[in-house]
Amino acid sequence: MNRFVQLHLLTSYPPANLNRDDLGRPKTAVMGNALRLRVSSQSLKRAWRTSDTFENALKGHIGTRTKEMGVKVFAQLVDKDVSEKKALEWAKTIAGVFGKPKALSKEEEKKRQDPETADAEKQTLKQKSLEIEQLAHFSPEEENQIGLLVNKLAQGNEAPNADELKLLRRQHTAADIALFGRMLASSPAYNTEAACQVAHAISVHKVTVEDDFFTAVDDLNAGEEDLGAGHMGETEFAAGLFYQYICIDRELLKENLSGDEVLTKATISALIEAAATVAPTGKQNSFASRARAEYILCEVGDQQPRSLSTAFLNPVQDVDIFYQSITRLNNAVENMDKVYDNCAEFRATLNAKTGEGSLAAIKATATE
């Protein structure tokens, strides 16, 4: 079996703010002593796994990442005529299987029980008490077990026993968990090792983050007295051609998906399409910076994986940045093969500028 699938993508984004730091600026990194634009792997993975592309290809095989499963369970129990007191207790117990319950402070608990506290605030505190401290990723199989238990509790009107609370599953078919892994701090035996490694996307050239000063006009201001803008603001942006590296361990992915070969291929195919066509969602309404990968190199083999990011250690400065970037990637592949022997068994490329290759051929190389 050709164990590793490596994807190298070049995607050009016009002026955008795809992934912001804590100050609202586009994320950056210094590489080769030059400032580059950066889109974090976390941002990319979330954009892919929550996309329509992913959902349509893997319907029924996508998990839910949340702290609020207890809130959902509570609502379901109450809808099935379980008393609020029991529903609250049982929902906390079920959510606690997947993580440590979030404890209210003494002051918050006092407020929750105070008859003079506003209903809206009580509801907020009640929901907070049903949450767990850390995000947990629930597989479809686990969500199904929770649903069955909710129905059973509503019918029997008795608290769940220890056997009924064995809701965690090692074997599942959640493609997103299989790809990107999960960590359950309170139940490490049910952790899943990620079968896919995603690098931060980095611009192949140096960048300057620019400021956009903007104003908004008040439509009902006739301008007779106040001639100024109704609102003034500032946002920051930059444009770049990004290099993106992804590595998939097909054997581990298949193991994570309970040995399902068909689902493994569908998952790889869905990830490739999402990575090629789905843009991060940051500031899209302001910049409409949607883009598709214009160049993809797919490599498959048992050889130890390696990124080709060093092709851009020196920032690209050529007038035709795209052409020069492809040339550098090809040179890096050729030189790596010379000194380490062939670093892949099979390769396929897509070039949207020249119309060569296809996404279908990339998928076929990766899955077959």
Q: What pLDDT is recorded for position 38? A: 95
Beta bridge partners of 167: none
Smallest CA-to-CA distance from 245 within 36, 28, 9, 38 is with 9
Check whether 269 has a pLDDT greater than 80. yes
Q: What pLDDT is recorded for position 169? A: 93
pLDDT digits (tens, 9 = 90+) for 131-164: 999 999 999 999 999 999 999 999 988 899 999 9
* CB within 8 Å of 134: residues ≥ 6 apart: 67, 99, 100, 185
Q: How far apart are CA 86 and CA 63, in angstroms?
A: 27
| The model's pTM | 0.90
* The one-letter amino acid at 74: F
Average pLDDT over residues 262-277: 97
Count other Cβ atoms within 10 Å, centred on residue 176: 26
User: Per-residue confidence at 127, pLDDT binned at 50, 70, 90?
Assistant: confident
Average pLDDT over residues 335-346: 95
Rounded (10°) angle between helices 69-79 and 119-130: 120
- Confirm if 10 and 295 have CB atoms less than 8 A apart: yes
User: Per-residue confidence at 247, pLDDT binned at 50, 70, 90?
Assistant: very high
Domain coordinates in residue numbering, the chain: 4-59+199-216+233-367, 65-173
Count other Cβ atoms within 10 Å, centred on residue 315: 17
Q: How far apart are CA 65 and CA 42, in angstroms?
A: 13
**Would you call 215 helix, strand, or coil by DSSP?**
strand
Residue in this structure with the two tokens 């048992």, named with its chain if needed: 302
The beta-strand segments (E) located in the chain are 4-16, 28-31, 34-39, 64-66, 136-138, 196-198, 201-203, 210-216, 231-249, 295-301, 346-351
* CB within 8 Å of 40: residues ≥ 6 apart: 19, 27, 200
Average pLDDT of the residues of the chain:
92
Q: How far apart are CA 334 and CA 341, in angstroms?
A: 10
- Confirm if 62 and 176 have CB atoms less than 8 A apart: yes
- Confirm if 65 and 137 have CB atoms less than 8 A apart: yes
Q: How far apart are CA 348 and CA 299, in angstroms?
A: 7
- Confirm if 61 and 263 have CB atoms less than 8 A apart: yes
Q: Residue 56 is encoded by which pair of tokens?
A: 């349509």
Q: What pLDDT is recorded for position 173? A: 95
Average pLDDT over residues 298-309: 96
Which of 121-125, 217-221, 240-244 is the most confident on average? 240-244
List the single range of 3-12, 207-216, 310-319 with lowest mean pLDDT. Answer: 207-216
DSSP result, 240-303:
EEEEEEEEEEHHHHHHHTTT-HHHHHHHHHHHHHHHHHPPP-TTHHHH------SEEEEEEESS
